[in-house]
Amino acid sequence: MLRNALLYLSSQPQVFKFVRQNSMAKSFASRFVAGETLDTALAAVKDLNSKGITATLDLLGESVRNEAEARESARQYLEMMSEIRARKLDANASVKLTAMGLDISEDLCVSNMQNILDRARDYQTFVRLDMEGSDYTSKTLDLFYERLYPSYRGNVGIVLQSYLYRTTSDVEQANKAGARVRLCKGAYKEPATVAYPDKKDVDESYVRCLKLLLTNGHYPGIATHDEAIVDQAKRFARENDIGADNFEFQMLYGVRRDLQEKLVKEGYRMRVYVPYGTQWYPYLMRRLAERPANVAFITGNVIKEMVGRSKA
């Protein structure tokens, strides 16, 4: 019931209009979304960089409705990358293929991605293909390996989600190909036919995959806010003489900022995923709808951070 309610509210423009004018709602959103414009997002990146934290920028807005919208999304990514370079910021980009037109035409999507990756290659920077729901997993990986990675090996990577049964084999494929992987748990609501329904199994899969990535991977991104898993990754790396410069931890903007800064002080690399754009309201509502437990997760982490800071 909660999921259906959140999804309904996410699609109501009158609610969005009200929320955008509500100071409390905007204040809550501003913790997890770096504003509505590229300038506000770049200001957030500058602040993160000043703390020794790198970033990856994501322009909010997923599936587009027509070719013009897809090409406009690609243009905004090109502008983003140019501004990152002009302002000498330490950041790269994350892109959802549905925002590039995957649901309209694979050729359109590839054309947009090639334009973005051409610029990434010219600028010697990096673009990550975000992973979406399980309906897109095979499509995304096929397009990545068959049409993008061969020409842009040093400039493009992928995301894999530990809650899917298939992910261990996907990690092994990525390691063999030399592809860079961001490993996350996964936030979409998936059926038990494709994903582990229990958190314990998701966590075990995550740890299994991170060990494969740390041992045989290529500068993996360990994307988690789970402090127990962070500690396991640190211990495994230490016990296997894997240097801290061979991987990085990744977290979401506004979540566990205390842990982000702690890891940097300990000498680990940290990258923060920074979403921005006018679609912040449906973005937040959909994320909560995909897994209503995220409400408690986010609230719990905010409280944990506040307690930690009060003791510092």
**β-strands 91-95, 127-129: how paired?**
parallel
The answer to whether 183 and 210 are in contact (CB under 8 A) is: yes
For residue 296, tell me if it sits in a domain.
no
For residue 162, tell me if it sits in a domain.
yes
For the range 146-152, what are the long-range contacts, defined as Cβ-Cβ under 8 Å and sequence gap of 24 or more? 147/110, 148/110, 148/113, 148/114, 148/117, 149/177, 149/179, 151/114, 151/117, 152/117, 152/120, 152/121
- Interval 212-223 mean pLDDT: 98
- Interval 124-132 mean pLDDT: 96
**Distance from C-alpha of 68 to C-alpha of 73, rounded to nearest angstrom:** 9
By annotation, the residues acting in catalysis are 130, 182
Q: How many CB atoms lie within 10 A of CB 235?
A: 10
**CATH number for the domain that contains residue 60:** 3.20.20.220
Q: Would you state the structure tokens that stand for residue 37, as one six-digit string?
A: 């414009």
95-113-61 Cα angle (round to 5)? 35
Name residue 65's amino acid.
Answer: R
Beta bridge partners of 195: 164
CB environment 202-212: b (16+ within 10 A), e (fewer): bbebbbebbbb
Query: Which pLDDT band holds residue 7 (cuts at 50, 70, 90)?
Result: very low
For residue 19, tell me if it sits in a domain.
no
Task: Report the pLDDT value the prediction gives residue 290, as an integer from 0 to 100.
Answer: 46
Number of domains in the chain: 1
For residue 143, tell me if it sits in a domain.
yes
For residue 53, tell me if it sits in a domain.
yes
For residue 103, tell me if it sits in a domain.
yes
Task: Report the pLDDT value the prediction gives residue 24, as an integer from 0 to 100.
Answer: 58
Question: Could you tell me which residues come within 8 angstroms of residue 99 by beta carbon, excluding any fewer than 6 positions away?
Answer: 59, 61, 62, 63, 64, 70, 73
Name residue 192's amino acid.
Answer: A
Q: Would you state the structure tokens that stand for residue 92, as one six-digit string?
A: 């790269």
Domain that holds residue 101: 33-278
- Interval 258-284 mean pLDDT: 89
Predicted model pTM: 0.86
SS3 state of residue 32 = helix
Q: Would you state the structure tokens that stand for residue 113, as one six-digit string?
A: 């991605």
- Residue 51 confidence (pLDDT) above 70: yes
The pLDDT tens digits of the residues spanning 196-206 come to 999 999 999 99
- Interval 58-65 mean pLDDT: 84
For residue 175, tell me if it sits in a domain.
yes
For residue 169, tell me if it sits in a domain.
yes
